[in-house]
Amino acid sequence: MPHTGGPNILQKRKRDLPPAKADEVRVRVEAAGFSFAEVQMLRGRYFNQPRFPFVPGYDLVGTVTDVGPGVSDLAVGKRVAALTETGSWAENVVLPAEKLVPVPDNLDPADTVAVVTNGVTARQMLHRVARVQPGQTVLVHGASGGVGTLLMQLARIARVDVIGTASASKHDLVRSLGATPLDYRTDDVPARVRELEPNGVDAVFDHVGGPGLADSWRLLAPGGTLVSYGVASALEAKGHRLLPFVPLLARLLLWKAIPNGRQATFYYVQRWPQHFEDDLTAVLALLAKGQIDTAIDRRVPLSEASDALRLLDSRRASGKVVLVSEDS
């Protein structure tokens, strides 16, 4: 990604990859994820993006092809996953060994990568932040996206009812994953949620931010938790990319301080590195048992990365878009 612009600005470049040094591992990438973060990066709006030019790519699954001195727990041929934040849209990468998690060989790499960032995000928000209980009801914004589709399924597995907001064209997908869809573009979402749950919901997962965050807070039942995890509404905003976080974090802090039994917090997937492997392994176990569907919309080779990013940028994707190696 050389600079800001549309999805067509992506360039494929070749460069020599250094050998794996001490405590590093070289990986041949088999699958990498496309996510909303790259849609933000295209506009220079992702809060933690590096300077241009850089190689995007939030996560990957691949096979170890070389290990540097000092790496004892990963052998050549082992399949691994990593959350990279940037850098995974590549044929080969060299990463610190500590970033790699062994994953099963018998799972499809594209299915596996679809749950690396999104599965861990969904699981941690549900079980470590909101601590949902059977019989509860939650509201999932962005239900049709990569995170949203997994959030709904993990909630259903925990015997939690889900109301999910999405564009109308994606309501069949939301319904098929066991949730009640609402159209955030045309429905009065707070009124509709109140009709469905007069006492409010036990958790709201909000990646939108902006003025609607106050609605998310007001929809909480006593004891409920607002989990804010993005500012999708600020995609086209002007000014510094961190500015939208100022009112958002101020509101969360204020609401958290009110002694009314409700909680409000911001979640970031790198918050608990010590739990990453356990949580990914737990989600992969559900995938292996066929209990979750990765809802992959499309698998594209590296040479078609611009088309894939366009699909996400134009909001035509349902579920996850995955980059796969040319030979898979």
Ligand X SMILES: NC(=O)c1ccc[n+]([C@@H]2O[C@H](COP(=O)([O-])OP(=O)(O)OC[C@H]3O[C@@H](n4cnc5c(N)ncnc54)[C@H](OP(=O)(O)O)[C@@H]3O)[C@@H](O)[C@H]2O)c1
Q: Which of 122, 146, 16, 118 is nearest to 59 (CA)?
A: 118
Instruction: For residue 139, list its beta bridge partners.
Output: 163, 204
- Residues 85-144 binding ligand X (CB under 6 A) are 117-118, 121, 142, 144
- Residue number closest to ligand X, CB atom: 145
Our finding on whether 201 is near ligand X (CB under 6 A) is: no
Q: How far is the CB of 77 from ligand X (least distance, A)?
A: 30
| The only residue of 42, 269, 295, 309 in contact with ligand X, by rule CB under 6 A | 269
H helices of the chain, in order, are: 36-42, 109-114, 117-123, 146-157, 171-176, 189-196, 212-218, 245-257, 273-288, 305-313
| The only residue of 35, 84, 136, 263 in contact with ligand X, by rule CB under 6 A | 35
DSSP 222: E
Scanning 95-103, 219-227, 261-269, 280-288 for contacts with ligand X by CB under 6 A, the matching segment is: 261-269
Our finding on whether 280 is near ligand X (CB under 6 A) is: no
Q: How far is the CB of 95 from ligand X (least distance, A)?
A: 19
Cβ(227)–Cβ(269) under 8 Å?
no
Around 10, how many Cα atoms within 13 Å sit in the side-chain half-sphere? 21
Around 141, how many Cα atoms within 13 Å sit in the side-chain half-sphere? 25
Our CB check for ligand X shows the closer of 105 and 278 to be: 278
| The only residue of 63, 65, 180, 233 in contact with ligand X, by rule CB under 6 A | 233
Our finding on whether 325 is near ligand X (CB under 6 A) is: no
Our finding on whether 256 is near ligand X (CB under 6 A) is: no
| The only residue of 62, 132, 140, 184 in contact with ligand X, by rule CB under 6 A | 184
| The only residue of 232, 283, 309, 322 in contact with ligand X, by rule CB under 6 A | 232
For the chain, give the longest Cα–Cα distance.
61
* Beta strands at 201-206 and 137-140: parallel, antiparallel or unpaired: parallel
Residues 272-276: contacts with CB within 8 Å, 24+ apart? 272/124, 272/128, 275/124, 275/128, 276/83, 276/101, 276/120
Cβ(81)–Cβ(101) under 8 Å?
yes
Our finding on whether 63 is near ligand X (CB under 6 A) is: no
Q: How far is the CB of 233 from ligand X (least distance, A)?
A: 5
Scanning 61-69, 163-171, 257-265, 282-290 for contacts with ligand X by CB under 6 A, the matching segment is: 163-171
Q: How far is the CB of 110 from ligand X (least distance, A)?
A: 15
Our finding on whether 255 is near ligand X (CB under 6 A) is: no
Amino acid (1-letter code) at residue 82? A
What's the distance, Cα to Cα, between the start and end of the chain in Å? 24
Our finding on whether 323 is near ligand X (CB under 6 A) is: no
Q: In the complex, which residues of this chain contact ligand X (CB under 6 A)?
A: 35-37, 117-118, 121, 142, 144-148, 166-167, 170, 184, 207-208, 229-230, 232-233, 267-269, 312, 315
